[in-house]
Amino acid sequence: MRCSQCAAIYPAIGPHAFRVLAADLGKTKETAAAFWGDLYRQLYSGAESLEKKEFNRQLELLEDYFRKQRHLAATEVRLGELAGKVILEIGSGSGAHSALFRAHGARMIAVDLTPERVVSTQRMLGIVDSDAADYLCLNADAESLPLRSDSVDMVYSNGVLHHSPNTEKCLAEVHRVLKPGGVAALMLYCRSSALFFSLLLWQGLLNGSRLNQREEEWLGRITEGKPVNQEAYNPVTRVYDRSQLRNLLTDFEIISLRKNSFEIGHLLPRGAGRLNQVLQWLYGTRKHPGGLLVYGEDANVQSGIERWLAGYLGFDWNILIKK
């Protein structure tokens, strides 16, 4: 791919997929790319072999799961209004969210720092049933998006920007590439949540990392899971309370801030897996088959009690903002 303005050439890493990254990312971003590549291999390898018919059936199940879970992708994002719009996803992961939006007619641009995830995304976008014309997948940096200003109708990012070395710079880029009046649907982690105060904070104190590391560093190491195929841990995770979030989003008009994602287990200490299973059964938590494309297995659907408590204790800020 060649830039029409500066004539720079970017190598292809797959159909509709190109590497648009600086030669030297820096240690933090290189570590992040390695960790998330490892996590990709842990979670998503089962979806790589799906044929088109089964993949699109799984995509329908995923949409149903998202609606039941009141997920960002089916609540703040109005799927029925995406046809013909240019949507940028930052941090596309396996590609299932981008594929869901393309199935509803969106023209997708998917960006991820991790090459494995870019290749997976372009495969999913290529086999989804859709009348939408074009799509593009970029191995790129959210702190320096390779897109023109005022060029996209919506930016979508689910649980990604709080892992960046410079979240503020990412949000400045979101603002830059959005068209005037364009919206962004984002998920960032919540400090004022059961998971942070009942589990993460205490784990950081007990292992000593809370005392000798910056918050984003010790949170990075104990969230998102453990590496299996290499040694690099997730380097950065940030959490925000409501006032911090409003300060972070001062360049935007805030349409809505909503807490979501709570399980009874967020109130239990680490290692109480069996008790968590019993409580989930008592409170009506159930499994849904729509989790394969994003979690590699069936996923929990919040019970009615959990859904109500999520508005107060949830770990996810579901954010809708406007330029």
Rg of the chain on CA atoms, in Å: 19
Cα maximum dimension of the chain: 62
Assigned domain for 192 exists: yes
Least Cα distance to 259 among 283, 232, 235, 241 occurs for 241
Structure tokens at 9: 């050439």
Cβ–Cβ contacts within 10 Å for residue 257, how many? Answer: 16
Least Cα distance to 290 among 18, 96, 51, 1 occurs for 96
pLDDT average per 10 residues of sequence, the chain (323 residues): 73 81 82 80 70 92 96 97 96 94 95 91 88 85 95 97 96 98 98 88 68 84 82 90 96 98 80 67 80 88 91 97 98
Helices (H), 11-136: 27-43, 52-69, 96-103, 115-127
Instruction: Give 9's DSSP letter.
Output: B
Dihedral sign (CA 82, 87, 89, 95): positive
Assigned domain for 2 exists: no
Assigned domain for 7 exists: no
> Domain containing 295 — which CATH number?
3.40.50.150
Q: What are phi and psi of 304, to 5 degrees?
A: -60, -40
Distance CA 169, CA 248 (A): 10
- 3-state helix, strand and coil shares in percent for the chain, rounded to the nearest 5: 45, 20, 35
> Rounded to whole angstroms, what are the CA distances from 61 to 17, 96, 101?
26, 11, 14
DSSP letters spanning 252-266 = SEEEEEEEE---GGG
Amino acid type, 112: D
Assigned domain for 1 exists: no
Contact 139/19 with Cβ under 8 angstroms? yes
Predicted pLDDT at 209:
64
- Residue whose structure tokens are 């105060």: 197
Residues 6+ apart with CB under 8 A from 110: 88, 89, 92, 95, 98, 118, 121, 122, 125, 135, 136, 137, 138
Assigned domain for 30 exists: yes
DSSP letters spanning 167-210 = HHHHHHHHHHHEEEEEEEEEEEEBSSSHHIIIIIHHHHHHTSHH
Q: Which domain does 281 fall in, by range?
A: 12-322
Compute the C-alpha angle 242/246/247, nearest 5°: 120
Q: Which residues, in sequence order, are bridge partners of residue 34?
A: none
Least Cα distance to 166 among 197, 193, 141, 129 occurs for 141
Predicted pLDDT at 273:
62
Kindly report, residue by residue over 74-96, the tens digit of the pLDDT: 999 999 999 999 999 999 988 99
Distance CA 308, CA 84 (A): 35
Assigned domain for 171 exists: yes
Assigned domain for 304 exists: yes
Assigned domain for 92 exists: yes
Total tally of structural domains belonging to the chain: 1
Predicted pLDDT at 47:
65
Q: For 316, what's the count of Cα atoms within 13 Å in the CB-facing half-sphere?
A: 22
